[in-house]
Amino acid sequence: MLNINGKRLRQSLEIMAEIGATPGGGVQRLSLTDEDKAAREQIISWMREVELDVKVDEMGNIFGIRNGRNNDLSPVMTGSHCDTQPKGGRFDGILGVIGGLEVLRILHENNIETQRPVILAVWTNEEGFRFSPAMVSSGVWAGKLELEWAYRRTDLTGAKLGDELERIGYKGDMPAVSRPIYAHYELHIEQGPILEKENKTIGVPKGVLCLHWYDVYIEGEANQVGPTPMAGRHDALCAASEMILKVNELPSKMGGNMVATVGEIHNMPNSRNIIPDKVHFTVDIRSWDDVFALKAWENLRGSFINIADARGCQLKTEISWRVEHALFNQELARKILEKAGKRNYSSLYMVSGAGHDASYINQVAPTSMIFVPSIGGRSHVEVEDTKWEDCEAGANVLLDCIIDSSMEI
């Protein structure tokens, strides 16, 4: 049985962790920044070392292609992303890229000839922090989002995704359009506490929760705080505070499998002696049950209207993004569980709370994911961590699955 090179996997991950390293021990490599560009160039140079044919599409997605015996057969694909959250971690995304690279290194140095081509993919702007929404490039690739619309996504400074792709030299010629894929595997850290709590090494998600994003805008009335009596104020931040607590209470009130979060808030004019008149905040709702998540929003919207009315504020809500829950390919999931078992890795069949590029790819090709434990369940933070032996275990299972699938005719 072939094994990936755990030492080399770690070394490559450590090199990647230096690109955009933060003083707090994490990584900040926001999408399409110079750090992102540097990471891409490192990855491409490694792809070339193992003789992959490197292609970049119109969305900046990078594909490193290794020929099979019969290139008319649809390829097996793996990969993830190299962008991070602000002050993010050293594993989210990049583990799936370097894990996949390590698989291709093993195939290369052992001269393994697969039946099918094998592709290592790096997806642009998965995180959605700099350019909302998340997973935008796999979304375009899967035909679920429009290319021109994606190009027009702007960051907080007004820079456009399309222009930034061009600036860093990653607006490729190849159409960002899916083609038949035989099987797609994405190796990723769990980003939650379940595997660690259950003391399992490998997680296999049956699918990804639905993901609904909303934007809420409140308008009250600004005034000097001193001479303005409490009665008759229209304080937009107080209205927002009530709403944020409603979001936080909702999952336990409604029961069922759901999380709801306000992660982002903008308060205006944000001066300590002026009553806030404008607040914008976001709502993120996720559940395995799409209808339940929609009901949750209706419930929240009703509360928001009452709160805004009671405080004499105007309310505007927007649906920014809705991705349905995705059931991954169960045959591939069974294969992963079986391969983990053969290596005596403990495993857990679970759900994924986080969105992944795999969610969009799953809509056009048989897809599954391999999770490894996140220490303390921490992710999207500088202290995000995963044991090296777990990274190695995940990459070994990925190796087994890719060899298996790419040999199938």
Q: Contact residues for its own copies (CB under 8 A)?
A: 85-87, 92, 127-129, 132, 134, 190-194, 209, 211, 213, 221-230, 232, 235, 237-238, 240-242, 244-245, 248, 251-252, 259-265, 267, 269-277, 282, 284, 286, 352-355, 377-381
Q: How far is the CB of 303 from its own copies (least distance, A)?
A: 14
Least distance to its own copies, CB of residue 257, Å: 10
Q: Which is nearer to its own copies, 223 or 363 (CB)?
A: 223
Cβ neighbours of 277 (radius 10 Å):
19
Using the minimum distance from each CB to its own copies, give the nearer residue, 36 or 221.
Answer: 221
Looking at the Cβ atoms of 65 and 247, the one nearer to its own copies is 247
Q: Shortest Cβ distance from residue 344 to its own copies (Å)? A: 26
What are the φ and ψ backbone dihedral angles of 264, each rounded to 5 degrees?
Answer: -135, 135
Buried b (16+ CB within 10 A) or exposed e, 34-67: ebbbbbbebbbebbeebebeeebbbbbbbbbbbe
Q: Looking at beta carbons only, is 273 or 344 nearer to its own copies?
A: 273
Closest separation between CB of residue 243 and its own copies, Å? 8
Between 129 and 345, CB nearer to its own copies: 129
Of 290 and 404, the one with the shorter C-beta distance to its own copies is 290
Q: Please give the single-letter amino acid code of residue 100.
A: G
In the bound complex, what is the minimum distance in angstroms from residue 369's beta carbon to its own copies? 12
Nearer to its own copies, 85 or 367 (CB): 85
Work out how close the CB of 302 gets to its own copies at its nearest, in angstroms, rounded to a whole number: 19
The total number of residues shown for the chain amounts to 409
The CA distance from 214 to 170, in Å, is 30
Do the Cβ atoms of 62 and 40 come closer than 8 Å? yes
Cα 409 from Cα 182, distance rounded (Å) = 10
Identify any residues that bridge with 70 across adjacent strands, giving them in sequence order. none
Return the structure tokens found at 253: 């009130």
What angle is formed at CA 36 by the lines to CA 90 and CA 376, rounded to 5 degrees? 15
Strand 278-287, strand 367-372: pairing: unpaired
8 Å CB contact between 39 and 16? yes
Q: Cβ–Cβ contacts within 10 Å for residue 291, how many? A: 9
Tell me the closest approach of the beta carbon of residue 206 to its own copies, in angstroms.
Answer: 14
